[in-house]
Amino acid sequence: MNTESEFVAHEPCNNCGSSDANSRYSDGHAYCFACHTYSPGEDWTHTHTPRMNNDKANFLGQAESLNKRRISESTNNFYRIYRYGDTLRFPYYTDDGVLAGFKIKTKRKEFHYEGQSTSTLFGQHLFPTTGKRIVITEGELDAASCYEVMSGWPMVSLPHGAAAAKKDLQKAIPFLQGYQEIVLFFDNDDAGREAVESASSILPAGRVKIARLDAYKDASDALQADDKDAIRRAIWDAKPYRPDGIVDGKNLLSLVTEPTKTCDHEYPFQGLNNKLHGIRYGELTTLTAGSGSGKTSLVRAIAADLCKKGETVGILELEANNKRTALGLMSAALGKPYHIGEHDKEELEFAFADTLAKWNVFLFDGFGSFDPDVIYNRIEYLASGLECRIIFLDHLSILLSGLDGDERRMIDSTMTKLRSLVERTGIALFLVSHLRRTNSDNNSHEEGGRVSLGQLRGSHSIAQLSDSVIALERDQQGEDTANLTTLRVLKNRFSGEVGVATELSYDLSTCQFYENHETENPVFNPSTDF
């Protein structure tokens, strides 16, 4: 929907049948706030607009009591709400207090306009530019109803209802800034609540209060029921607006006194537990290393260990087919390289029966690049549909490989969505990410070069949105170090402890990592471990 055009008038909606929810704008487009139908307006002409007379507007009719609504003649005379035939006429004035035009309401609740449009609120010209409190309602009759109950207090209304609340109040900010309290008294329905959220964001911070009617749709309904006290209470008891996400610290006693669980699972390596204090649901952990440094093998080792503990695990290996992933998990669990060479079928059946057949593990049946939205959907299903509490995604680069565009922006978007998934589902997500190449071939990542957060490929968002980042450092060509892997914690949001966690030896004959316990508790060196 175009947000730059100006609101013109309410119209009936041909889609849902609403008499006034369809809003027409100056560029021709229309949007129905009842059924959310958008009309681009290419075929729109002035014949489709409500009647607009640009000649000088004139007062017609007279102020009368509206008995059904319990609004007195004196209140209507104050606002100059005049009955003319079968219509009600609501005057609008310029900022200078000059009559500009009328909003005209028929018995069928249809609206049209006479005269010139203004940027002012209904009734604004009647009240001073400074004061303690001003009440803003959705409609003119709501404002008059409030004034009927609390005469003398500034009561004004939006000119175009909830649909254009933000835009109309934005224009009125110079006037509203003079008031200590701005009370939004909108309708008790979805449209009114949405209007409160959108409008509050642009009004002076700390001055907005929200008035609610629990038993009535709006102030007019309350007055028709002769419940004046409900209107008074709603205004006097209006609560300060607090946007979503802001919590009063005084209300956190029960939260802070709940027992805090250090972790939900331990890593299979004590050195990682010493640094990271285990695996926790609701956290995103990134594993990174140079090519061929054992990231996938480490993922399978951690995943197999969790499966053996009875955890429900989801695994998406985008660079391997499910046969290789399954055999790799069996290898990691049983200490035999089932994914390498030929093996007797009966032996494989026994291995399968001892692992995957009794585990709660789910794999993604896919290989290569995929639409990221498909992957997000599958992770969501694993978490919500299959109750996987821990999910492994290997790896980030191939997830984006089929897309065109700026890599940094794509990674930013992907990391934000993955983080949102973690927060929404409460899963522990392990993400494998590559490193960017160093400027020099000396001491490269494949030759055991030291890894830092700044070397994560593509974007700072990987580090920013991860709770923990674990780097693998391995000299693949070293005579004595080819199978030695150093695990370095680059980020640790839980405790802040970073640096070398442990050293692992990888045995090709068993496909398992063995921890070098001499480095189980390495001395922390702040000059090198940050």
Domains of the chain, CATH where assigned: 61-86+93-101+117-240 (3.40.1360.10), 270-485+492-519 (3.40.50.300)
Q: How far is CA 520 from the centre of its chain?
A: 41
Spatial separation of the C-alpha atoms in residues 304 and 265, rounded to whole Å: 13
Residue 521 one-letter amino acid: N
The sheet that has 179-185: what strands, in order across it? 155-157, 131-137, 179-185, 208-210, 239-240
pLDDT in tens, 278-317: 999 999 999 998 887 889 999 999 999 999 999 999 999 9
Please give the pLDDT value at position 505: 92
31, two tokens: 């949007």
Degrees to nearest 5, angle at CA 313 with 259 and 261: 10
Angular region, 303: left φ>0, alpha ψ -120 to 50, beta rest: alpha
pTM: predicted TM-score of the whole model, two decimal places? 0.57
Q: Token pair 């109750």 is at which residue? A: 387
- Is 6 a residue whose pLDDT tops 90? no
Please give the pLDDT value at position 35: 58
Spatial separation of the C-alpha atoms in residues 487 and 289, rounded to whole Å: 10
pLDDT in tens, 185-237: 999 999 999 999 999 889 988 899 999 999 999 999 999 999 999 999 999 99
CA atoms within 13 A on the CB side of 16: 14
**Strand (E) or helix (H) holding 323:** helix 322-334
User: Which string of DSSP letters, residue by residue, matches 103-172?
Assistant: EEEETTS-EEEEE---SSPBTGGGS-S-EEEEEEESSHHHHHHHHHHSTTS-EEE-SS-GGGHHHHHHHH
* Dihedral sign computed on CA atoms, order 356, 357, 361, 367: positive
CA atoms within 13 A on the CB side of 123: 28
Spatial separation of the C-alpha atoms in residues 115 and 416, rounded to whole Å: 49
- Is 184 a residue whose pLDDT tops 70? yes
pLDDT in tens, 123-135: 999 999 999 999 9
Q: What is the mean pLDDT of the chain?
A: 85
pLDDT in tens, 37-56: 667 665 444 333 333 344 56
The sheet that has 284-289: what strands, in order across it? 360-363, 312-317, 390-394, 428-434, 284-289, 468-473, 484-492, 499-507, 512-515
Q: What backbone torsions phi and psi does residue 155 show, to the nearest 5 degrees?
A: -130, 115
CB atoms < 10 A from the CB of 112, how many?
18
Closest CA to 133 of 243, 267, 240, 255: 240
